[in-house]
Amino acid sequence: MQMTFRWYGEGNDSVTLKQIRQIPGVKGVVWALHDVPVGEVWPVHRIEEVKKQADQYGLNIEVVESVNIHEDIKLGLDTRDRYIDAYKETLENLSHFGVKVVCYNFMPVFDWLRTDLFKEMEDGSTALFFDAKKVLSLTPEQVVKNMEENANDFTLPGWEPERLKDLKHLFAQYQGVTENDLLQNLMYFLNEIIPVAEKCGIKMAIHPDDPAFSVFGLPRIVKNKEDIQRLLSAADSPSNGLTFCSGSLGSNRDNDLIDIVTSFVDRIPFAHVRNVKHLENGSFIETSHRTADGSINVTGIVTALYDNGFEGYIRPDHGRHIWDEVCRPGYGLYDRALGGMYLQGIWDANELLKNKPAK
């Protein structure tokens, strides 16, 4: 297991590389060029700049999250080949600087969705919250406005203002697009991309839908074990992998997360681990990483990764906002650092049990 920590870049994060370096066990940052418009090639000099910044603190940049997919690719429009060619060039550029894994998603319109960015919990901390009842009364425009007004002036991944400025047009484009249509468009993308990824030594790792069920009638194709099996089988290559995200898959109570880990561990180059607590009516709130604080068996997940020989990258995913920290929603330093130590503690405990002398 290789511990990493997400970082949004100098001037775009409340967390610094110096702080990340001081979290025990963290060897690398999970990063992206968030200001490069979706569909454009990531310039070599910008990638080199990030590597130099990370090198100063002894951190690697081997995991990218995310090289986002242009909406024309998801929709299967005639213009998609141009954007796929740009994606290939970006992969080639990244490979020159040691990138091994590229996380991406194929979610229409919204990369992820919550109704409240700073929902107060019993202990006074706040966390990301999905109110299943509330979302039924909101329009997509209201959701976007809420995100923009409550993000503490930080950019939000997957909520690029230039892309979402005309939501009515975006939703109109998806009228009549079925899950099968979206799946076929993903297959087209993978058939083009995977040979390039293989040549570059990069593992593509698709992120599950967040939440793992349809919202606003949009199609979802990475929401459960059956979906994952279909995607991995369609392009049977080590470069076609899964980002295992316990919070996304765990938003759907029907998913057996430990079974998913056990079934696909050899195709999981990257894992996000966070905890969520299920409430009534399908609502959920993100909690600390500690198993006892939520509905996700974090201990069981990390143990399953350990028992099945996981050698990929992992990061503590969304945390609470604690100790009056002002930060990007879900991405403060303090609770994620605590989460990282919790995950490593579970891993170390398994190591100790494995090597414990027999009486």
Catalytic residue among 8, 227, 272, 334: 272
User: Is the preceding omega at residue 161 within 30 degrees of 0, hence cis?
Assistant: no
In the residue annotation, 318 being an active-site residue is answered as yes
Catalytic residue among 245, 289, 306, 335: 245
Contact 273/319 with Cβ under 8 angstroms? no
Instruction: Encode 216-244: b = buried (16+ Cβ within 10 Å), e = exposed.
Output: bebbbbbbbbebbeebbeebeeebbbbbb
∠ CA 121-122-124, nearest 5°, is 70
User: Phi, psi at residue 30, to the nearest 5°?
Assistant: -100, 120
The token duo for 177 is 């697009």
User: Phi, psi at residue 267, to the nearest 5°?
Assistant: -120, 20
Catalytic residue among 13, 87, 104, 318: 318
The token duo for 25 is 């066990």
Radius of gyration over alpha carbons of the chain, in Å?
19
In the residue annotation, 207 being an active-site residue is answered as yes
Catalytic residue among 72, 111, 200, 207: 207
∠ CA 120-22-33, nearest 5°, is 75
In the residue annotation, 293 being an active-site residue is answered as no
In the residue annotation, 272 being an active-site residue is answered as yes
Strands 60-65 and 101-104: parallel
Contact 319/285 with Cβ under 8 angstroms? no
Shortest CA distance to 199 belongs to which of 235, 148, 239?
Answer: 239
Catalytic residue among 306, 331, 334, 342: 331
Rounded Cα distance, 98 and 74, in Å: 28
| Cβ neighbourhood burial of 253 (10 Å; 0-12, 13-18, 19+) | exposed
Residue with token string 């892309």: 163
In the residue annotation, 245 being an active-site residue is answered as yes
Q: What strands lie across the sheet with 276-278, from one edge to the other?
A: 116-120, 126-130, 284-286, 276-278
Instruction: Encode 103-112: b = buried (16+ Cβ within 10 Å), e = exposed.
Output: bbbbbbbbbb
Strands 126-130 and 116-120: antiparallel
Could you give the residue numbers annotated as active site?
Answer: 207, 245, 272, 317-318, 331
